[in-house]
Structure 1
Amino acid sequence: MFKLWATIVKDIRILTRDKVGIALMFGMPIALVLIITSIQNNTFELVNKNKVALLVCNRDTGKISKEFIASVNKIAMFKMQFIPKGESDKAITEQMHNTDAPLAIVIPSDFSAKINAQAQSVSGKALNTFGLDGGKTDSSANNTLPLNLYYKPALQDQFRRSVQGALYSALQLVESKQILRNMYFSINEKQLPAKLENELLNNKIAINETPVSKNGSRNIPNASQHNVPAWTIFAMFFVVISLAGSLVREKLSGSFIRLKTLPTNYFVALLSKQITYLAVTMLQAAVIFAIGIWLFPAMGLPVLNLPADVLGLVIVSLICGWCAVSYAICIGVFAQTQEQANGFGAISIVMLAAIGGLMVPSFAMPESFQVVMKLSPLHWCLEAYYGLFLEGGGLKDVLVNIIPLLGITIIFQAVAIAGLKMKKLI
C-alpha cells in the first residue's frame, strides 16, 4: 500500500509540472462548453424568441397583400422592415448586404388581383361541384405570380425551409379567406360576417407537446443539458495529452527498465496512473458541472439541472473517466515519441467525438455511420449521460450504455498490457 501511495504522489508531482497538459485538460473544455452552449442557446432563442429581420417590398396596392403582411406579422417570427415599392430587386439585395437582414420578400404588383382570381376560380369550381351556379372558371387563374424570397447564402437550409413554411402558411390563410368570402357572397349575395370568418379560419386544433422522460418529468431540456455532458466527456478523453505523454517520457528515459530492477511490480505504477488521472477526470466533471450550475445563470445561459439520481451520475462519471484513462494508457504504450502520442491522441479524440455524436446528433448521421458510431466509446458515454440528464433516468436505465462502455474499457486495458509485454517492459 505504501508503494502505491508513493507512486501516486510521484505521478501527481509529474502531472503538476505539465502546465500545458493541465491547460488543455481544463482550459480548453471550459472554453468549449461556454462558447458552444452560448451559441446553441442563441440559436434556440433565435428560433423560439428572437425575431429575424425581414425586408418587405410590397409593390401591390390591394387589400389582400396587406392581409398577407398582417398574417406574416402574426407569426411573430420576423422583425419586418418595409422598403419603398419603387426599389429595384438589385437595390433590395444591396440593402440586405448593408444590413443584418438575412431575408427579403418582394410582393408583385398584381398580387391581390391574382389571388382574388384564383380564389374565384376555386370557389366557382366548388359551387359547380355542389350543383350551384359558380359561374365560369378560369383555368389560367392558377398561374399566380410567386413571391420572390431573397436570402443570404449563409442561412442554413433547415432554417430557410422553416421560413418558407411560415410564408406558405400566411399565404394559404389569405387565400382561404378570399375563397370563403367569394363562396359566401355567391350563395348569400352579401359579405361574409367578420365574426363567422374568424370562427371558420381560427378554429385550430391544439397540439400538446410532452417530452418523454423515464421519471415522468415534463421539464424541457435546454442547451446546457445537451452541451455540458458532451463537453465533459470530451474533457475527460483529452487526458490523453498528459497521460500518454507521461508514459512515453518514462519509456524514453528508461524508467520502465529501472522499475524492473526494484522490488516492485510495474502494475503498481500502472494502477497509480489510473487512480491519479481518474481523479483528474472526476475533477474535470465537477468543475464543468459547477460552471453549468453557478456560472451559466450569471452569463444569461440556462442553468444546468443535475439528474435526480446523483449516485448514478457519479458512477457514470467514474466509468467514463476510467475508459478515458484506459484509452490514454493504450495510446501511450504504443506511441514511440511524445509528438506521436499528442498528435494521434488529439486527432483520434476529435474523430471519435465526431462519429460518437458529440458534434452531430446521432439521429442526423447517415445510415452508414450507425454501426461505426457504436464503436466509439464517447458515444456510449454520451448516451449514458443523456439518459440521466435529458431522459430523467437512473442508473438502472443507463446500464444498457454502461455495459458496452465497460467492455470497451477492458479491451483498452488488455491491449495496453499486451503491448507492454510485447515490448518486454513488464
Structure 2
Amino acid sequence: MQKILRRVATAERVAAKRTKAKDLKVFKKEKKEQSEEQRQQISMAREEFAKAKQAVKDDWNLGPLAPRRDIGEWAGAKGAIHETRYATYGRITLAMRNRRCQWAGGAVNLNLAVGDRVVLIDGPDKGRIGKISRIDETKAEVIVDGLNKSNLRVQAELRGENDPPVLNIELPISISAIRLVHPIKDPETGITRDVIINQLVHKGLIHDRLSGKSRWSRIVPGLNVSIPWPKKEEAEYKDYKCDTLRIDVEEKTFRPTLLRPPFPPSVIDELRNKYSRFRTRHEPEYIARLEAEEKAKEDRKKLMDTMRTPLQELHRAERANKKKKGKPRLTIEMLEKIGEVMARNMERTRNAGLALPEASTTSTAADSSSSSSPEQPAAEAPIPPPPTESNVEPSSSSSSPPSSSSDPPSSSSTP
C-alpha cells in the first residue's frame, strides 16, 4: 500500500510540474507578443513625433518651399495620430492593474463608477475636471468627457463620403492619472466645496451568491466620510413617427370564432413544423406531393411485376394457391384412420411383450438338462416362430398383467 501511495504522489508531482512548465511557456509567449506590440506602438509614436518636429523645422526654415505632408493617406489629417495608437494592444496583468488602481481600492473592487467627477493630474489637461463616461477594467483605463482629446485619422475605407478624415475624440486615461473629486462640508467653517480625494477604501463588502454581484461603500480613510455612488441616469427614449403607440399594442384585434381556428395558420406553422406528420391539417400542395410520391411507388411496384421471369411467376402462383387453401385441417375420416393405426400398433406391442417370458422359460429348462447328464449331448430346443397376429393369442394365465391401452409402446416392439 505504501508503494502505491508513493507512486501516486510521484505521478501527481510530475503532472503538476508539467502543468507548471506548460503555463510558464504560454505566459512567456503572451508576454513576448505583448512586448512586441507595445514596442511597435512606441516606435510608431516616436516616428510620428520625429516627423512632426521635422515638419515644424521645415516650415520655419523653408517657409513656402517646405514640402507638403497632407497628401495621400494623410490628406486633410495633418497633426492627427494613427488609428492604431488609439487603444493599447495586449493584456495587462492583475499586478499592473492593482498598481494603477491602488488609490481607488484595487482593481478587483474598484471604487469608481460611471458618472463620477474626476480631475486629471497628468497630461495636457492637467487640473481640469470632468465626468467618467466609460471604464475599461481589463486595462484599468477610463474615458473622461471632454478631456484628453486628440485628432485621430480615419481611413478612407471606414468613413463616409461626407465624413471628415480626422475625428476629434477622447483617448483613454490610466486610472493612476486621475483622482476623485467630491463636495465635502468643512466642519469648522460649514462651507461645502470640492475636495480632491487621494485615497478610497472599502467598507461593508457584501457578496450575493445568487446574482454573483458585490456591493460595498467607499470611505475616505482618516476622515471616515462615506462617498455616495453616483445616481444612474435613466435612459431617454425619443419618439419617432414609426413607433407603435401603447394603446395600439394593448388593443385586442383578434377574436376567435367557430368559423376559423383559434390560431392563424402562420402561427401554427411557427409552433409546429409545417410538414410534421403529427399535424392534422396540411396544405393542399403538401398533400398532393405526398399522393404523387405514393403513386410513383405503386407504379414502380407494378413495373417490377411486369419484369418477372416465368419461374418467378410459377412460384408466385404456387404461393397464391397455398394462401387460398389456407392451413390444413384434419377431417373426421382422417381422425378415424389415425385411431385405427394407433390401436393396431398398441396391440402389436402388447403381443410382443407376452412372447418374451415363454422364450426365457425354455432356455432355463435346457440349461438344467445339460447340467444333469454331461456325457449326453443336450437336445436342441425348437426355435419358436416369430410372433404374428395369427399365431399369437392373448393368454390370461400369464403371470404379468396385461398392459392397459394408455401405456405407451415399448422400444422393443416390432413394427
TM-score interval w.r.t. the shorter chain? under 0.3
- What TM-score comes out, normalization by structure 2 length? 0.17
Q: Which has the higher helix share?
A: 1
- What TM-score comes out, normalization by structure 1 length? 0.17
Q: Which has the higher strand share?
A: 2
> Which structure has the bigger radius of gyration?
2
